[in-house]
Amino acid sequence: MSFRMTSLATTTMNQLQQKLDTIGHNLANSNTAGYKERQAEFSDILSQQIDNLTPANQAGPRLSPDGIRQGIGSKLGAINNKLDMGSIQKSERELDNVLLQENHLFQVQAEHNGVEEVQYTRDGIFYLHPTGTGDNVMLVTKEGQPILGQNGPIEFSAYQVTKIQMDDDGSVLVQRNNQPEWENVGILALTEAVLPRSLEAVGDNQFRVPDELNETDILQAVAPEGQLLENGAVEMSNVSIQDQMTEMINAQRSYQMNARTVTMGDEMQGLVNQLR
């Protein structure tokens, strides 16, 4: 019995450590613009039914099920992404944008394991990067990855551009030589996560569709209509420090309880070994 008890406790402690790592990651990014909280969810590992009672026709009346159900701990079932909106903070920067709907995402051209693919982000802090072709520049993330428009990466000539802004519907507008006319150089390709919990976090505030899932079941295109984003503002992290501290304390107490279980199991084995 002491071996079973120790095995159960050590298994659960290992999984609790992963939850603590997730909480630490959330706290470390509590001030990161566009960061989305990660939530650890647990599930039971296999359990065993031990039928050590007399036959049912000979047993007395009881409210609990017959026998003993012995589990072998719990495991980290999944780490889910919480795409709830964070607070909006004004920046007045022309290339900062906030998506106004919870499950809307920008599209990013990125690489995963050496393969080029489309990834997704809520982080609307963009930059302009020279393409090396004439005066052309490209709209990119802080990591230098191209932001995708409806016709691919948004690239345009920076010649005599004096102002740039994003319209409410995701249009990228530039003004040249302080003229009153605005030129539309692209429209941001926005997508909606129908099943946001299925997305896989890959770092840099970005998500991808796992290889084993069908992209069309998880994502759908967003029509460029109405007010989809706010320009000149950033979306802050949606991490609640108070909630994370509460989760951390609960996880630490569970860890301590399981550690105490291991100690008790060791003490019981020591007593058995001392019997003569």
Burial class (CB in 10 A: 0-12, 13-18, 19+), 154: buried
H/E segment holding residue 19: helix 2-28
The predicted model scores a pTM of 0.78
Question: What are the sequence ranges of the domains in the chain?
Answer: 2-82+240-274, 88-235
pLDDT band at 153 (very low <50, low <70, confident <90, very high): very high
Q: Could you tell me what percent of the chain has a pLDDT over 90? A: 49
pLDDT at 155: 95
Which residues have a Cβ under 8 Å from the Cβ of 260 and sit 6 or more positions away?
A: none
Residue 64 has pLDDT above 70, yes or no: no
Which pair of tokens denotes residue 2?
């002491």
pLDDT interval class at 102 (50, 70, 90): confident
Res. 265: pLDDT tops 90:
no
121-141 pLDDT, tens digit per residue, is 999 999 999 998 889 999 999
Q: Which tens digits make up the pLDDT trace of 210-234?
A: 988 998 999 998 988 889 999 999 9
Nearest Cα residue to 189 out of 149, 146, 156, 220: 149
For 80, counting Cβ atoms within 10 Å of its Cβ (0-12 exposed, 13-18 middle, 19+ buried), the class is: middle
Q: How far is CA 107 from each of CA 119, 141, 219, 233, rounded to the nearest angstrom?
A: 6, 10, 11, 19
